[in-house]
Structure 1
């Protein structure tokens, strides 16, 4: 839905005020930061159209629009909900959309040439965490005997896929396929669901694009297929799938409708994992460098607003997101996760303050190591058919993730005192690689500088030298 309803008078006034602000900022930068003064010019393209999917993690775009941060940058933005991730990606590639809320794997896969070939970059990571895995009520009842209980009778979390394995094995013994849904072949959800299943000894299947097989079901114990996020609960209720991995509010929707039980969040699979990014074409960034920096500035400010004062603004954000032109789910459904709690089995609501993170923990910084993790999972499951050197993974990450653009945007905001330097990485020392991370459900350590060693560390998955 298109919902840019700005009046021409307001637009003219805003442009005039923005122009005055730009002149003032230019004077400030001349005195305090000559480099920034040179780089932060007027946007080359002012009229922009951004796409999104109806998920709560599109919030930075909605807030940048509603709070006037785009207009502060001289940008006049139209926001359009998209039918699915492929339509959204195609829109950015063909220029119908100037940029979009994207799955973190989409710019990487497109640049690499898996699926559609196009050079997509991201100067901004939109959030951490925010997904969950939900199973049907029937599957949940079959899993429960395999799950340890706390003193009050509630399940011990995190729940590993070990509890699901006997259920899947019984389905196989009965000759019934165990079908599960995820949102897109290169989505975080696909890789998180596969990671969780494999950690519990359930094979999620391989891809073989060199053989023309992109089903992802070769050797699979659980059969994963694509379902658009808003359709997940209805597909589960219809019995077409027995579980799914999706972002909010579609796990909580299953709880509210009484049709399923979220068994684990992605925070429990990989603590503070990167989720969505803001994607644009490399051509757009090259043609409109000032516009790119300015839209990144607006998104940074929106992310900061979403997390500031211990999430004090989240209820206001939920009210915005519940509008039909954004996510369109009930306020209470969205609030169930956005305000720091998460409900598993009906009535089992627990505190998870970091279920949605938009700014803290350097959530908005586009780390190379985040991109490399996705690439390792693409290789693990066969989307990358052949071995690649460590340097190939690093070079691919650097061609897609653009912390240089992010740094320019952040430093200009710091110079204007709109944000604090302490809210960001130390740019003088930042390498783009996070320290080795151990907070995975299988306790396997990830070091982004050693992708092949990481790939070889898994019991289930392709290793160096493997070719299907």
Structure 2
């Protein structure tokens, strides 16, 4: 165990009594008592693949704080190189669970972005907190936001390379949606490249792209390193959007339901702990900044996880819709409408040839029964419906009621 993990766990133990109230369950109860009747986990030690991003934090902290042991399991976080590796290690069983892009998991369910496989989404890990950055060179040419980018591209036509992190993933969908609201067709007007999150800044530094869409802390790292500027946050595109999810295969979920519930419950408690105080977020930032996890400076993580933003050009602001891991339980429920939204965008951009049965796919993917049992054990409220309504950038409302019509309603598409 690293020195950072030891310090984190010792700090947690010292504050166990106070945290028991925060977690709505007595701290450090024997696993069986704390599990709330969920049954004995079929597998005691589980590997969870993750990508070095701020939003891996609830998985890391569930392990670092010993919340996994409360539910009779041991979480082994497994740092992976890119989203393709996350996919492959999940499908071949090398990892039991994954911190995975929502759009990537949904795509696998319908056979895009990898081989078709029956997948399972156990919970949403976080909302908000991704970003779109533009290169310093582009900023010096006058493009610092969407409107000025569109004007520059019209004034100076050329090939504009933009990076996202996986073709069916969330970062690709945020980038495409954002560009299209300004009349830029991402399938025609830019060159799209795929770059793993930890490699984004190195590629930006050598001029491989004019902009990129990625999770934190890499947008902030680009500002600190002087290679990029902030153009938009993902919450500007869809306030309180779902981002990463806890994924596994249907086969694993069916064979290990108690293990799944234990992992969900432990991560729910870690999520609640992160969001409960600014001090906990600071401790989380210290922990995940370590080389074993995100491998960056604390400075690249801490401001944006507290909602303090800057654009790299002198402007600063506080964003109440910054990255959230729990938000009184509103973050974590696996809404069918959230999963279906990604399918509508896959159809919009030509990744799907035909309309699937959007909600049927979403409901097969999202393991709401397992989630509800785990949430009850962790003392987390669940909503009455698996559909929710949101208004996205440009004014369109998404509520999951008529996905095919919604998917066909955009003027700009593949």
Partners of 1:265 and 1:239 lie apart in 2 by: 22
1:225 deviates by: 1.1
Which string of whole-angstrom CA distances, capped at 9 and with x for unpartnered residues, describes residues 214-258 of structure 1? xxxxxx101111001111111112111010000001101111011
RMSD over aligned Cα atoms? 2.2
Q: For residue 9 of structure 2, what is the aligned residue in structure 1? A: none
Partners of 1:98 and 1:143 lie apart in 2 by: 47
The answer to whether residue 172 in structure 2 is matched with residue 190 in structure 1 is yes
- Give 1:92-107 correspondences, 5 Å limit: 92-107=90-105
- Give 1:349-368 correspondences, 5 Å limit: 349-360=316-327, 362-368=330-336
Q: For residue 272 of structure 2, what is the aligned residue in structure 1? A: 304
Q: For residue 169 of structure 1, what is the aligned residue in structure 2? A: 154
2:347 counterpart SS class: helix
1:123 deviates by: 1.1
Q: For residue 452 of structure 1, what is the aligned residue in structure 2? A: 404
Q: For residue 407 of structure 1, what is the aligned residue in structure 2? A: 372
Q: For residue 127 of structure 1, what is the aligned residue in structure 2? A: 126
Q: For residue 111 of structure 1, what is the aligned residue in structure 2? A: 109
The answer to whether residue 402 in structure 2 is matched with residue 461 in structure 1 is no
The answer to whether residue 410 in structure 2 is matched with residue 443 in structure 1 is no
Q: For residue 70 of structure 1, what is the aligned residue in structure 2? A: 68
Partners of 1:282 and 1:443 lie apart in 2 by: 36
Partners of 2:346 and 2:68 lie apart in 1 by: 35
Partners of 1:352 and 1:5 lie apart in 2 by: 30
2:247 counterpart SS class: strand
Q: For residue 136 of structure 2, what is the aligned residue in structure 1? A: 137
1:5 deviates by: 9.7
- Pair 122,23 (structure 1): closer, same or farther in 2 beyond 3 Å: closer
2:397 counterpart SS class: coil
Q: For residue 201 of structure 1, what is the aligned residue in structure 2? A: 183
1:73 deviates by: 1.2
Partners of 1:301 and 1:387 lie apart in 2 by: 37
The answer to whether residue 27 in structure 2 is matched with residue 53 in structure 1 is no
1:357 counterpart SS class: coil
- Pair 58,177 (structure 1): closer, same or farther in 2 beyond 3 Å: same
1:2 deviates by: 11
> How many aligned residue pairs are there?
392
Which string of whole-angstrom CA distances, capped at 9 and with x for unpartnered residues, describes residues 3-28 of structure 1? 9999xxxxxxxxxxx998255458xx
2:176 counterpart SS class: helix
Partners of 2:160 and 2:28 lie apart in 1 by: 59
1:356 counterpart SS class: coil
Partners of 1:184 and 1:381 lie apart in 2 by: 14
- Pair 379,331 (structure 1): closer, same or farther in 2 beyond 3 Å: same
Q: For residue 154 of structure 1, what is the aligned residue in structure 2? A: none
Are 1:4 and 1:77, in contact at CA under 8 Å, matched by a contact in 2? Answer: no
- Pair 169,80 (structure 1): closer, same or farther in 2 beyond 3 Å: same
Are 1:92 and 1:99, in contact at CA under 8 Å, matched by a contact in 2? Answer: yes
1:403 deviates by: 1.6
Are 1:108 and 1:400, in contact at CA under 8 Å, matched by a contact in 2? Answer: yes
Q: Which has the higher Rg, Structure 1 or Structure 2?
A: 1
Q: For residue 10 of structure 2, what is the aligned residue in structure 1? A: none
Partners of 2:341 and 2:39 lie apart in 1 by: 35
Calculate the TM-score normalised by the size of structure 2.
0.90
- Pair 376,138 (structure 1): closer, same or farther in 2 beyond 3 Å: same
Match of 1:395 among 349, 360, 372: 360
- Pair 395,23 (structure 1): closer, same or farther in 2 beyond 3 Å: closer
- Pair 5,319 (structure 1): closer, same or farther in 2 beyond 3 Å: closer
- Pair 24,373 (structure 1): closer, same or farther in 2 beyond 3 Å: closer
1:169 deviates by: 2.6
Are 2:132 and 2:175, in contact at CA under 8 Å, matched by a contact in 1? Answer: yes
Partners of 1:367 and 1:101 lie apart in 2 by: 17
Are 1:53 and 1:101, in contact at CA under 8 Å, matched by a contact in 2? Answer: yes
- Pair 335,94 (structure 1): closer, same or farther in 2 beyond 3 Å: same
Which string of whole-angstrom CA distances, capped at 9 and with x for unpartnered residues, describes residues 407-460 of structure 1? 01011222xxxxxx5xx234xxx22001x321x221111121211221232110
Are 1:132 and 1:262, in contact at CA under 8 Å, matched by a contact in 2? Answer: yes
Partners of 2:267 and 2:363 lie apart in 1 by: 21
2:309 counterpart SS class: strand
1:171 deviates by: 4.1
Calculate the TM-score normalised by the size of structure 1.
0.80
Partners of 2:366 and 2:148 lie apart in 1 by: 37
Partners of 1:201 and 1:237 lie apart in 2 by: 28
Are 1:22 and 1:42, in contact at CA under 8 Å, matched by a contact in 2? Answer: no
Are 1:444 and 1:457, in contact at CA under 8 Å, matched by a contact in 2? Answer: no
Unaligned runs of 5+ in 1: 7-17, 30-36, 148-158, 206-219, 415-420, 463-468
